[in-house]
Amino acid sequence: MVDRQRGADADNDEALDRVFAALSDPVRRRLLSRLDGEALLVKELAAPFNISVQAVSKHIQVLVKAGLVRQERSGRVSRCRLDAGPMYEAALWVNRYSKYWQDQFDTLALWLGAAERPKRKRNSRRQS
Amino acid sequence: MVDRQRGADADNDEALDRVFAALSDPVRRRLLSRLDGEALLVKELAAPFNISVQAVSKHIQVLVKAGLVRQERSGRVSRCRLDAGPMYEAALWVNRYSKYWQDQFDTLALWLGAAERPKRKRNSRRQS
DNA sequence: TTGATATTCAATCAGACGGTTGACTAAGAG
DNA sequence: CTCTTAGTCAACCGTCTGATTGAATATCAA
């Protein structure tokens, strides 16, 4: 029974643990990459790998528990959809250290401009 | 003997594995947080935790292997210094999904301006 | 109904992980 | 030299992890 002291330190966040742990595996990172833009079935997700479908299924469960993937089952198949929301906290965490990449600051600003942001609306995000 | 297919996929990066794995533990995240700005000794790093110094030392070794911390020993003590360089790749990776946080885009732009950037370099290529 | 397909569950296994205690090396302090 | 301090090394332990194989559960097709 470890005394947890929850909330005392914002970094002691189990959700963040799960997100970073989920991202620490190359298979899961590839899964997330493939789910960027399209929702796929387990079978489709498993196809490129030479590990068993069960292993991929377990990887997906890890992603689900991290909140990065949602599965909606319809009939026999289970369509997996990306939910990048929990990754935001992780991004905030690592970006706190962006000051140390000042050299690559241009590159850092680059994805801000290059990542799907077709035109910079000068005002107002177009809230979906 | 797994055929690795190294380089075929940029996401299959063991360095990235180690960085994300290092970040997946709250103790190590707190260590990194405390090393942000000042270099500390192992003893000083271990003080706030109620785990043994050896355990903290092992955590530091994990950070060192991930390239996030460098240790320079002078005499008896070992001063630990943050090296956020390897975190940059991790930041690039998660930031690829920033388009999904469009709602929090303001916050995302916030750390760009608000994160410890007290005085920008006077020559400062910040002409957007 | 029969059979193939999609996915998960269950048991198992080797190895990594996070923690402990105890011993060790090496450097300062007396 | 002796004692203490800083840090790591080594062995151990319980749990988690990533993978396997085999069985179970549903769903769809014939």
DSSP of B97-109: TGGGGGGGHHHHH
For A24-38, B3-17, B84-98, which range has the lowest pLDDT when averaged over its residues?
A: B3-17
What positions of strand D are covered by protein, i.e. any atom < 7 Å from a CB? 5-10, 17-23, 26-28
Q: Do B108 and A91 touch (CB under 8 A)?
A: yes
- B57-71 tens-digit pLDDT: 999 999 999 999 999
Q: How many residues does chain A have?
A: 128
Per-domain boundaries in chain A: 8-115
The reply to whether A51 has its C-beta less than 7 Å from any atom of strand D is yes
Nearest C-alpha in B relative to A2? B50
At A67, the pLDDT band (50, 70, 90 cuts) reads very high
pLDDT tops 90 at residue A104:
no
How high is the pLDDT of residue B109?
57
CATH topology of domain A8-115: Arc Repressor Mutant, subunit A (1.10.10)
Does A105 or A27 have the greater pLDDT score?
A27
Q: Which residues of chain B have a CB within 8 Å of the CB of A13?
A: 26
CATH topology of domain B14-85: Arc Repressor Mutant, subunit A (1.10.10)
CA distances for A14 relative to A25, A70, B24, B59, angstroms: 18, 19, 9, 18
pLDDT tops 70 at residue A41:
yes
DSSP class of residue B89 equals H
